[in-house]
Structure formats: C-alpha cells, structure tokens
Structure 1
Amino acid sequence: MEDGGADAPARDGRRGRDETREERADRNFADILQELRVVMTGTQLISGFLLAVAFQSGFRDLDATEVQHYLVLVALAGLATLLGLTPVLVHRLHFRQRMKEQIVRFGNVLLIITLVFVSLLVVAVTSFIFEVVVSPTAGLWASMLSGVVVVALWILAWAVRRESARSGADGSAADG
C-alpha cells in the first residue's frame, strides 16, 4: 500500500492518514496506552515512596499539619493511580464489542483527568518536601512556583494545539 502522507485523503474521505476508522481507533488506543504507561510509572514510583515514608522513624516527628498534608498526598496518588487504570478496565469490560472509538474517546478524557491529578500530585509532593525539609513557608513558595510551572505548561500545550488547528490542520492527520 502506498503511503500518501499526512495530507493525502484517508480511505474514509477525510484528510490525513490512509487508514480506516477501525485502524485509526486502534492506533489512537495504542497511543493512549503508551502515554498511560509513562504516566503510571511515575505515579507508581511516587506512590511507593509515599507509602515508605510512613514507616520511617522520622515520620513520628511530623506535626499534625504535615501528617494531614502527607495523607492528602497518599489520597492523590491513589486516585491518580486508579484513574490511570480505568481506561484499561473499560477496554477489558468492552473487549470485542466493537466499541473501540467510544473507548478511545472515554480513554482520552480519563487520561487528561489523570494528568490533572498527577500535576496536582507533583505540586503537592514538591510542597511537602520543602515544608518538611526547609519550612512551611518554603513549602508554600515551592507549591506556588511548581503550580505556576504546571499551569504554564498546560497553557502552552493548549496554545500549540490551537495554533496547529488555526494553521490549517483539521485534526485528522495526527488525531492525537
């Protein structure tokens, strides 16, 4: 099969890759799973370190506010992990039911929500480390700075997508 490039008409008549709707859904789902692998590895590492903290001798030295902060981190890590596993669960529950396009759309939404929670987790972990190691004020500054970086990166990602759409790409060539 000859590849007409990203601007050649696809088999379904849209501009983009020469692939059927089913092939596009399979490719997009594979992309989602690969992105989840990356996100889940980091989330699981953070979760593992957080769980180990509670069993360290210095954990007893944390004040009530620091323990509450820690418990919020554990809850965020657990929630991010569960959210990241959900697209796989949905795929398993709907296996061979010819629902790949719907699973891809739902998986995409869940992946974005997972990324929001992982972003919150990273900000909160950064804040906690600075709070415990340096001071509560340093923790506050660390959370504000890392929060600004996270928001800036999300805005940048949105702006790149918007510019790509404005420059004539119709979204079908890359599909993700």
Structure 2
Amino acid sequence: MAPEPEGGGDAAPGPSDRRRGRDESPEERADRMWVDLLQELRVAQTGVQILFGVLFIAVFQPAFTDLGDTDRALYVTAVVLGAASAGSLIGPVSLHRMVAGHRIKPQTVVIAARMARTGLLLLAVTTVLTLLMLLRVAVDDTLAAWLAGAVGVWLFTLWFALPLWARRHYTSRE
C-alpha cells in the first residue's frame, strides 16, 4: 500500500507531525515517504509487467482466434485496465518530474500515493479478469468464476482491507 501520512487520511504532513514518531521536518518526512513509495511502485510495476506481458502474448497465439465473444470482451477489458494500471503506477514518476524543484514534495507524495492506490485497484481487477479468461479455457465457466472471484476477494483482503484494518488498529487515537 502506498505511504500515507501517519494518523491516516491524505493530509499533507504538517508541523504537528513532529510530536509523533520520528523527529523530522515535513520536508524530510516527505522525502522519506517518497523513497518508500518508489520502492513500493517498483514491486507493483513488476507485477504489471508480467501480467501485461502475458496479455500481450495471448493475442498472438493461434488459439486466440477461437475465443468467443465473452472471452474476447474479457481480454479487451483486461488489456485496457492493465494499461490504466501501468499508467497509474508510473504516473507518480511523471508527477515528480513535472513538479520537482517547486517545493511541493509533501503534496506530491499525497497525490502520488493516491495514484498508487488507484493503480493497485486496477491491477487487482486486471489480475482477476485475466485469471477468469484463462480459467474459462481450462475449466467450466462456473468454476472459473468462483476461482477468479476467490482470488479477487483474496487480493482485496491483502491489498486493501488488511492495510486499512492495520492502520485503524495500530494507529493511536489523539
């Protein structure tokens, strides 16, 4: 999950943040959070690259011409959402490049974290759609839907529900 200011929410780090945790200025904190975000994006982008690679190769396979309308629609949707996911996960780099030197690093981190969350959501949906498309070839449609749905629930739990629970559970209330 993309870094957020301690205490939750998307507010930019402010002077009151020095009371908690690390003794760092808002700019130092933004620099640290930016480095953390870049490390997280590197991991996510690897997943996007692998998944996108599979999708790109699939269209050139001889069996692709035999796919029905439903599977083609799943494929097109997965490719489009995969491209949107890649854009959202690469977007923070462009954002940073465009605003570097303008003294808005704390705000940049907040915007980039939102882009990363959006990219992760799109990646999860792309993964589920790709899995559904592949499983429809291997097993019956009902089982494919159940398995893809189970993976979707698992990804949502790991990527969104658990981090939100941890943030609420382990963040002290002030």
- TM-score of the superposition, structure 2-length normalised? 0.85
**Structure 1 stretches of 5 or more lacking a match?**
1-9, 171-176
Amino acid at match of 1:22: E
Q: 1:90 aligns with which of 88, 95, 104?
A: 95
CA distance in 1, matches of 2:164, 2:49: 27
The answer to whether the aligner puts 1:15 opposite 2:20 as a matched pair is: yes
Give ranges in structure 2 of 5+ residues lacking alignment: 1-14
| Aligned residue number for residue 81 of structure 2 | 76
| Aligned partner of 2:121 among 116, 121, 132 | 116
The code of the aligned residue for 2:59 comes to A
Give the C-alpha shift of residue 169 in structure 1.
6.8
* Separation in structure 2 between the aligned mates of residue 91 and residue 97 of structure 1, nearest angstrom: 10
Q: Is the 8 A contact 2:91 2:115 kept in 1?
A: yes
| Structure 1 residue 11, shift from structure 2 partner | 10
| 1:63–1:13 distance in 2 versus 1, CA, 3 Å | closer
Match 1:57 to one of 45, 57, 62: 62
Matches of 1:127 and 1:12, distance apart in 2: 45
CA root-mean-square deviation: 1.8
Percent of residue pairs bearing the same amino acid type: 34
Structure index of larger Rg: 1
SS at match of 2:137: helix
What TM-score does the superposition give when structure 1 sets the normalisation length?
0.84
Higher relative contact order (CA 8 A, sep 6+): 2
Instruction: Provide the aligned length of Structure 1 versus Structure 2.
Output: 159
Write the deviation string for residues 145-169 of structure 1: whole angstroms up to 9, x where unpaired: 112212333222211110112xx37
